[in-house]
């Protein structure tokens, strides 16, 4: 288990009602309605939130890798994330796919950036060995 030497930020939320409730951050910047996946509920769901958080963090990790390699990133760099909720051996489980778009970046360079990002992104580290993950160039 990784122990932090230095806490840089703590995201704090209060959630009530589970998948059909609400979630609010303590600083008031996040205030969302939740709904179960696949329903017509008005809100988002934990899988969408996880996909958004991971893809945003992964883009940051690509930026860090690019800076270290002195590579300019395209303005339209994007990550499409898919997080599946399913069952395995009778229990709920997740699996995920990240599709990275680096237009104009040579494929071998883009792959090196993605590989480096996957090693340093905190979400990638948290999921490594715990869920099935595919990371591919789009």
Q: What is the pLDDT of residue 40?
A: 87
Q: Summarize pLDDT for 6-42 with one digit per residue, the tens.
A: 999 999 999 999 999 999 999 999 999 999 988 888 8
Q: 36-74: per-residue pLDDT in tens? A: 988 888 899 999 999 999 999 999 999 999 999 999 999
CATH numeric code, 1-44: 2.20.25.10
Domains 1-44 and 46-137 belong to one CATH topology: no
Domain ranges of the chain: 1-44, 46-137
Q: Tell me the CA distances in angstroms from 49 to 37, 45, 54, one per residue in order.
A: 11, 6, 9
Q: How far apart are CA 76 and CA 24, in angstroms?
A: 30
Q: Output the pTM of the full model.
A: 0.93
Contact indicator for 96, 82 with CB cutoff of 8 Å: yes
Whose structure tokens read 């996040």?
Answer: 30
Helix (H) or strand (E) holding 108: helix 107-120
Residue 84 CB neighbours (<10 A): 14
What's the CATH superfamily of 46-137?
A: K homology (KH) domain (3.30.300.20)
SS3 content of the chain, % helix, strand, coil (to 5): 35, 30, 35
Residue 132, token pair as written in the block:
């099935």
% pLDDT > 90, the chain: 93
Cβ contacts of residue 26 below 8 Å, gap of 6+?
12, 13, 14
Q: Express each pLDDT in 86-117 by its tens digit.
A: 999 999 999 999 999 999 999 999 999 999 99
């Amino acid at each position: 288990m990784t122990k932090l030497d230095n806490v840089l930020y703590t995201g704090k939320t209060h959630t009530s009602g589970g998948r059909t409730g609400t979630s609010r951050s303590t600083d008031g910047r996040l205030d969302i309605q939740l709904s179960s996946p696949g329903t017509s509920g008005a809100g988002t769901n934990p899988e969408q939130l996880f996909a958004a958080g991971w893809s945003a963090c992964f883009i940051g990790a690509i930026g860090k890798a690019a800076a270290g390699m002195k590579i300019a990133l395209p303005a339209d760099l994007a990550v499409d994330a898919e997080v599946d909720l399913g069952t395995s051996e009778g229990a709920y489980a997740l699996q995920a796919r990240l599709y990275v778009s680096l237009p104009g970046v040579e494929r071998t360079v883009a792959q090196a950036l993605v590989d480096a990002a996957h090693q340093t992104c905190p979400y990638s580290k948290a999921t490594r060995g715990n869920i099935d993950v595919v990371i591919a160039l789009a």
